[in-house]
Structure 1
């Protein structure tokens, strides 16, 4: 079981997209806001600058990784003084699974690997809501080896695809997202003052209870039983869990059960009775009522809406 992997599985919809773009100076590019998505930029070669909506420009060098978990807009350029052009490479709007292109002037080259993940805005997990506007993981000894390896493999596969590239790129994009978040939370755990979900994952007592809920959401968990898993009294556990996670244990359990049910409805054709049992409801009727309260739709209507082709 892995809470982080579970969260990504619930949030992700559709297939991710990626592009390897060679920018020749002078260049400046606006990347617009893309609600319901998360994007990344990796500097494969050369240098560039991140131009955030607020705050000073940030210098970037080869190997740096940027992650934008909330889909907010930003700009990048070869220099803070270069004018920024209208969007040409929006990670959220890349039509193909992966593309490779060359854009802009004739000066020194900067090669960026950009990409986007489509997320379900209706089921934003609080773990992701806690993340900052942008995560910057600088190149160097502190960058985890597995993240560097995923970047190198993904960049090479997108630039010169070989047999089976579609499957390889999809797997690498999933790995990259997990490695980015793992690196961020690992770095956060090492700080003196950690709050929110970073603190919840670092707390052995609360993480033990989260592990139990994610491992077996169908179990009829009580606060007392979860507290026993955490090695705490019922009251002490409830206080600590709510302080770190942001909601009481059983409220989070209900939210997680119904989020899991939503994914099963979208991605499988399992009957409602089986899904109800998998997420801890003793009857299809009880499950349907709880699901409708959470989503505003009956499970059957939700499944039909999720499977309907998009409107032209």
Structure 2
């Protein structure tokens, strides 16, 4: 199961509206019945019909409501929750809309090779769907909602996991993402840059310098720095700093090792310097990050 995927059922009756601030998490909405209007700044509103899915991979601020005249309420929920059968009910006494929402926590600073995806991707589970696997998952979700059975909460949680993965697949096929992936492939197919990335990934605790890396891959210091920045999207030591923090975040989530030990494992000589770097890239301290990850999910 994906880490920290949360799903929630929403039963809304017109007039209704939800206003979501930008969050460091991907968001997905599946309209089970009724209709919803998704609004993002600078874009035309998107009308979501039954079996339509909207995936917001960057957690962009948005409004979801039944009509442009409905006043949205600010959403102030947390980032983690345990699966629950409680359905969120909002709105008045008018037309009904049923929605399944899913949320997936994101790292604050993903590696640049992953690129910057579009704000929203919309796909459907109807007969015209270009992705039969996604359509089949949507059909399973709707069937479980229509006739709940024992352990439906857990079944829906797993289906939400699968639907998020399928949304990511569809996202990866978008032209903007394919262009960025192509750039990443160019970087990985360039022997000196591939070798430098491999060195940093394999020996994250090593005190790398640009000169050291350049020497190891057979380039001059200036030539290597320029080539790496052009192909990867940022300077070598900035990439290394982000990679170290990403690795540290995994260790904080998955082990009980002291912060000082993790700092050493990812190449920091002192805990204060590690704390500073971690907060710069993740937006919180290592201790707070670990405590948040230990909350029930």
Q: CA offsets per residue over residues 135-178 of structure 1, 9 Å max, x none? A: 33355655433433444445555673633844x55544444333
Distance 1:73 1:128, change over 3 A: farther
Residue equivalent to 2:249: 262
Matched, 1:86 2:75: no
Q: CA offsets per residue over residues 48-74 of structure 1, 9 Å max, x none? A: 322333332222223322123343332
Q: Which runs of 5+ in 1 are unaligned?
A: none
Shift of 1:76: 2.8
Q: Distance in 2 between matches of 1:202 and 1:66?
A: 28
Q: Distance in 1 between matches of 2:129 and 2:189?
A: 28
Distance 1:200 1:90, change over 3 A: farther
Q: CA offsets per residue over residues 199-239 of structure 1, 9 Å max, x none? A: 334546269939847974548687569979xxx99988865
Q: Distance in 2 between matches of 1:271 and 1:264?
A: 10
Alignment partner of 2:55 out of 34, 45, 67: 67
Q: Distance in 1 between matches of 2:200 and 2:133?
A: 25
Q: Distance in 2 between matches of 1:152 and 1:29?
A: 25
Matched, 1:136 2:119: no
Distance 1:90 1:219, change over 3 A: closer
Distance 1:47 1:302, change over 3 A: closer
Q: Distance in 1 between matches of 2:202 and 2:158?
A: 26
Alignment partner of 1:27 out of 15, 18, 22: 15
Distance 1:149 1:35, change over 3 A: same
Residue equivalent to 1:291: 274
Shift of 1:246: 1.8
Q: Distance in 2 between matches of 1:117 and 1:265?
A: 18
Alignment partner of 1:200 out of 179, 183, 190: 183
Distance 1:35 1:272, change over 3 A: closer
Residue equivalent to 1:18: 7
Q: CA offsets per residue over residues 171-196 of structure 1, 9 Å max, x none? A: 444443333222112222786xx2xx
Q: Contact between 1:39 and 1:91, CA under 8 Å: does it hold in 2?
A: no
Q: Which runs of 5+ in 2 are unaligned?
A: none
Q: CA offsets per residue over residues 72-110 of structure 1, 9 Å max, x none? A: 332233444xx2233276675786534435544566543
Q: Contact between 1:217 and 1:278, CA under 8 Å: does it hold in 2?
A: no
Q: Distance in 2 between matches of 1:181 and 1:102?
A: 28
Distance 1:95 1:130, change over 3 A: same
Residue equivalent to 1:43: 31
Residue equivalent to 1:147: 134
Q: Contact between 2:27 and 2:55, CA under 8 Å: does it hold in 1?
A: yes
Q: Contact between 1:27 and 1:105, CA under 8 Å: does it hold in 2?
A: yes
Q: Distance in 2 between matches of 1:127 and 1:217?
A: 19
Q: Contact between 1:227 and 1:233, CA under 8 Å: does it hold in 2?
A: no
Q: Contact between 2:118 and 2:176, CA under 8 Å: does it hold in 1?
A: no
TM-score using structure 2 length: 0.67
Q: Contact between 1:29 and 1:86, CA under 8 Å: does it hold in 2?
A: yes
Count of aligned positions? 280
